Amino acid sequence: MALSGIEIYKLLPGGLKPPHPKANCKECGFPTCLAFAMKLAAKQAELASCQYVSEEAQEKLAAAAAPPIRLIKVSSNGHEVAAGNETVMYRHEKTFFHPAGVFVRINDSDGLDAIRELVSTADEYKVNYVGMDLAVDGFAIKSTGDAATFSAGVEAVRGATKRPLILISADAAVMEAGLKAAGDSKSLICGASPENWEAMAALAKSHKAPLTVGGSTLDEMAELTDKIKAAGVEDMVLNPVVTTLPEALGVWTQLRRLALRKTFRPLGYPIIAFPSQFSADSQIAAVQAIAKYAGFIVLDRFNPADLYPLLVFRQNIYTDPQKPIQVSPGLYEINNPGPDSPVMVTTNFSITYFSVSNEVEGSGRKGWLLVADAEGMSVLTAWAAGKFDAERIAKTVKSTGIESKVNHRRLTIPGHVAVLSGELEDELPGWEIKVGPREAVNLPQYLKLME
């Protein structure tokens, strides 16, 4: 269990009897050892900040200071998926750090040619969302037969992708064949249960691979993780048996709460979810898994129409709510503009920028887009907060050198901030301020009328 602030303090220089000569030295950045201890207990400080802790105390404190949810990584050929190290129940408290890895399941009985074709198609899938490329994170291969069939299936998948793998089998001999076929990649072994945990733990230890631990109750999983840890395997992923959406939500929330609020180490591991196993609508189940609180998600099929909204939703959930997605301020060219092309201005909130640029680019019209530094806020939000005003827009015009690139002095501002036109004319003498549409979708028609 976690140590309290007072228990931690007793291990620090200031809490020793007699006190250490460096007690309350302030070198850790806190006024006293007690203040530092309280921050350690709240996971808001690093033990490494204190240079005078004894080795014995370091061992005790390191265990107490370890993240409540262990960080687990699977990797292959430069691709990596990480889960764990989360510190909050709700993203508005701080942020979620490691987006849930989305894997597509393949059955080894599907036929080698079909496996290669499906994996190649899914591997090449990529969609650009507000400047970020979203894609499948890896593939899960499920054994439906013997070791030879599983080995051949893994080899077929490995030949078509370099992404990380999850190997699914309850048979240790079959799993060993799959691990050999996976080569040097660090795959997630999925299949440890109360019946086979010893053999699976031996494989995980010898291959230095993380291991999923299944159980029908929290007590059963906690008991099993303790046994597997005693066998020498530190990296585990929880695979609770759930049969309905409400049950999944309840169990996953309990696991997260026990790990974060109680620092219950036997259940302080990421969760893996198989949406199709507990809901007829696997898309809804996958959405729930992303929000509450899966670290790995295995989809039973590859369907771009389902995958795109799922990846976008994940990106939104795992974006720091205190740091909006933003692009770099500056001057952007759309469709190779010339000196007669219109000049527009907007904020550096990513969704705003891409809404504007995509509409203009898609229409085939040319333009210069000035992106002002509004601290990642949308137009109305930035204006209301005083981050998108006449002074900032004028500064953007002057700093980007747009005056030397065009032979006119016309600047279009968003319709939502038409109130700035008068002030902006004062800030930019000689410029004609045009008020554009309120919505980006109307920009093509507006630019046509300006010709």
CATH assignment at residue 399: 3.40.50.11600
Q: Tell me if 323 is assigned to some domain.
A: no
Q: Does residue 130 have a pLDDT over 80?
A: no
Separation between Cα atoms, residue 451 and residue 37, nearest integer Å: 67
Are residues 204 and 81 part of one domain?
A: yes
Do residues 364 and 436 share a domain?
Answer: yes
Neighbours of 165 (CB within 10 A): 27
Strand pairing category for 127-129 and 165-168: unpaired
Residue 333 confidence (pLDDT)? 94
Do 178 and 241 have their domain in common?
Answer: yes
Residue 399 inside a domain? The answer is yes
Q: For residues 311 and 405, state if they share a domain.
A: no
Is pLDDT above 70 for 65? Answer: no
Tell me what pLDDT residue 2 has.
62
Average pLDDT along the chain: 92
Domain end, chosen from 317, 342, 358, is at 317
- 261 and 296 together in one domain: yes
Which of 124-138, 258-272, 379-393 is least confident? 124-138
Share of residues in the chain with pLDDT > 90 (%): 74
Domain hosting 344: range is 330-450
Task: Give 158's pLDDT tier (boundaries 50, 70, 90).
Answer: very high
Give domain status of residue 322, yes or no: no
pLDDT of residue 5: 82
First to last CA, the chain: 70
Strand partners, 213: 192, 238
* 43 and 102 inside one domain: no
pLDDT (0 to 100) of residue 297: 97
In angstroms, what CA-CA distances link 451 with 275, 367, 403, 439?
53, 12, 20, 19
| Identity of residue 272 | I
208 versus 49: the higher-pLDDT residue is 208
What pLDDT is stored for residue 95 in this prediction? 84
Coil vs helix vs strand at 370: strand
Are both 157 and 42 inside the same structural domain? no
One-letter amino acid identity for 209?
A
306 phi/psi in degrees, rounded to 5: -85, -35
22 and 90, same structural domain?
Answer: no
Q: Are strands 138-142 and 132-134 parallel, antiparallel or unpaired?
A: unpaired
The answer to which of 127-136, 220-229, 428-437 has the lowest mean pLDDT is: 127-136
Question: What digits encode the pLDDT tens for the residues 279-289?
Answer: 888 999 999 99
- Report yes or no on 446 lying in a domain: yes
Share of the chain above pLDDT 70, in %: 99
In a domain, 353, yes or no: yes
Give the mean model confidence (pLDDT) for residues 96-104: 94
CATH code for the domain of 109: 3.20.20.20
Residue 1: pLDDT over 60: no
Tokens matching residue 444: 């093509």
Q: Is the peptide bond before 31 cis (omega within 30 degrees of 0)?
A: no
Residue 324 located in a structural domain: no
Using 50, 70 and 90 to split pLDDT, how confident is the model at 45? confident
Rounded average pLDDT over 218-247: 96
The total number of structural domains that make up the chain: 3
Residue 180 confidence (pLDDT) above 60: yes
Residue 306 lies in a domain: yes
| Whether residue 145 sits in one domain with residue 120 | yes
Range in 31-35, 46-50, 232-236, 399-403 the model is least confident about: 46-50
Contact 331, 369 (CB under 8 A): yes
| Full-model pTM | 0.77
Predicted local confidence at residue 64, as pLDDT: 66
In a domain, 325, yes or no: no
CATH number at residue 24: 1.10.15.40
Domain endpoint, select from 24, 44, 65: 65
pLDDT category of residue 208 using cuts at 50, 70 and 90: very high
When pLDDT is cut at 50, 70 and 90, the band that residue 56 belongs to is confident
Per the omega criterion (within 30 degrees of 0), is the bond before 9 cis? Answer: no
273 & 344 share domain: no
From the list 444, 369, 433, the residue with the least C-alpha distance to 405 is 369
Please check whether residues 306 and 361 belong to one and the same domain.
no
- Whose tokens are 């004319």? That residue is 425
Q: Looking at the structure, do residues 346 and 223 belong to the same domain, yes or no?
A: no
Contact 293, 272 (CB under 8 A): no
Lowest mean pLDDT among 49-53, 412-416, 437-441: 49-53
**Lowest-pLDDT choice from 12-26, 70-84, 174-188, 425-439:** 12-26
288-330 pLDDT, tens per residue?
999 999 999 999 999 999 999 999 999 989 888 777 788 889 9
